[in-house]
Copies of this chain bind each other. A is one copy, B any other.
Amino acid sequence: MERVMMKGNEALAEGAIRAGCRFFFGYPITPQNEIPEYMARRMPEVGGVFLQAESEVSAINMVYGAGGAGARVLTSSSGPGISLKQEGISYLAGAQVPCVIVNIARGGPGLGGLNPSQADYFQATKGGGHGDYRLLVYAPGNTQEMVDLIGLAFDKAEAYRNPVMILSDAIMGQMMEPVVLPPLREVAPDQPWATTGKRGRTKPNIINSLGLVGEDLERINTELQAKYARMAADEVRYEADGVTEADLVVVAYGTTSRVVRSAITRLRQEGKKVGLLRPITLWPFPQQILAELAAAGKRFFVVEMSAGQMVEDVILSVNDRAKVTFFGKLNGTVPTVREVYDRIGALLSEGGEG
């Protein structure tokens, strides 16, 4: 096992390659350009293909092509590019084509800025494209998870024949931390459903998302929903740190979870009972653990770099059985440890009084 210092974006790229990804299609956009840059250099070394497409729309459709042929294929972008890819993502989901899509989120809406943001949560988890579909969405909390979760993402994409999204942000992508890299895997793209020629079968494989007759489309959707139910049942991941003994559970993911961790470390040193519940999958959302904690009388504090998106899923999970307080930093700035520390402190005193 190698241990090396890497930027988040590069760790993610190398992690993808180690997991057998051999196709990358993308279009440049800050703050994720280290990913295509790394891929442009690295892919030829492993016999893979890097292609800078003529647009975000093209890139996601190339992903459809490679994924449909059973290959492990990656694309990455930031918010505006992910928006342009929504039609393609809906097609990939509808046609059950496995692939991994990375969003290194920046501030929005619109052109916005290059600061980190968590305001693409709804887009990732509720489906920014048309129709009922779901992506499995992972939110890495450190550079090691950039490597680990992208590997997992490729395995799950293939297992479920479903697009998987990594939702990270500008800080996670730029931050350097030591990582342990797994060995290089070669994954033969020989899926039985792939459109790579008949190979002796009587009937050709066909991949599409067409259901012109209503009943056909309903059947497609029933199959999809059954799959999403399996994913919801089996794929939830989260980190729970001191939640059982806590009075207040802070819910945060990605960059904000790091700020929260620093704040609660201090608060614990002062004897405060604060826990961290960090969703690692944003969809499926860790509803059950939150419902259980709510049933056990905990209160909740949600910290996001957005106007409040994940907080809806927290409320849907605890469903009026517990008090949920929200603190959001709007796109542009990151909450400081001090801000979070103060707010948790205030909530705890309030709770003590309550």
Contact = CB atoms under 8 A, between A and B. Distances in A.
B129 A129 contact: no
Contact of A110 (B56, B95, B212): B95
A191 to B, nearest CB: 19
A120 interface: yes
Copies in the complex: 4
A195 to B, nearest CB: 15
Nearest to A108: B131
Contacts of A108: 90, 94, 129-133, 209
Contact of A126 (B126, B208, B330): B126
Contacts of A112: 94, 130-131, 209-211, 217
Nearest to A97: B110
B132 A110 contact: no
Contact of A86 (B86, B218, B224): B86
A107 B115 CA distance: 37
Interface string A321-349: 10000000111110000000000000000
Given A84-B57, A119-B132, A331-B132, A107 B316 contact: no
B111 A209 contact: yes
Contacts of A129: 79, 83, 86, 108-109, 123, 128
A117 interface: yes
A51 interface: yes
A233 interface: no
Given A51-B51, A306-B132, A332-B218, A109 B83 contact: no
Contacts of A239: none
B113 A210 contact: yes
A214 B336 CA distance: 14
Contacts of A320: 319-321
Interface stretch (A1-9, A151-159, A181-189, A307-315): A307-315
A11 interface: no
Most B Cβ at <10 Å: residue of A86, A119, A210: A86
Interface residues of A, number: 76
A333 B214 CA distance: 5
A117 to B, nearest CB: 7
A309 to B, nearest CB: 7
A127 to B, nearest CB: 5
A249 interface: no
Contact of A109 (B91, B105, B213, B309): B91
Contacts of A309: 126, 132
A161 to B, nearest CB: 13
Contacts of A128: 83, 86, 123, 127-130
A160 interface: no
A80 B82 CA distance: 15
A225 interface: yes
10 contacts: A83-B89, A112-B210, A123-B126, A123-B129, A123-B130, A128-B129, A218-B329, A219-B332, A221-B330, A222-B330
Given A109-B133, A211-B332, 5 more contacts: A83-B130, A91-B109, A109-B130, A110-B208, A225-B307
The 7 closest A-B pairs by CB, nearest first: A108-B131, A110-B209, A94-B110, A79-B130, A109-B131, A320-B320, A217-B332
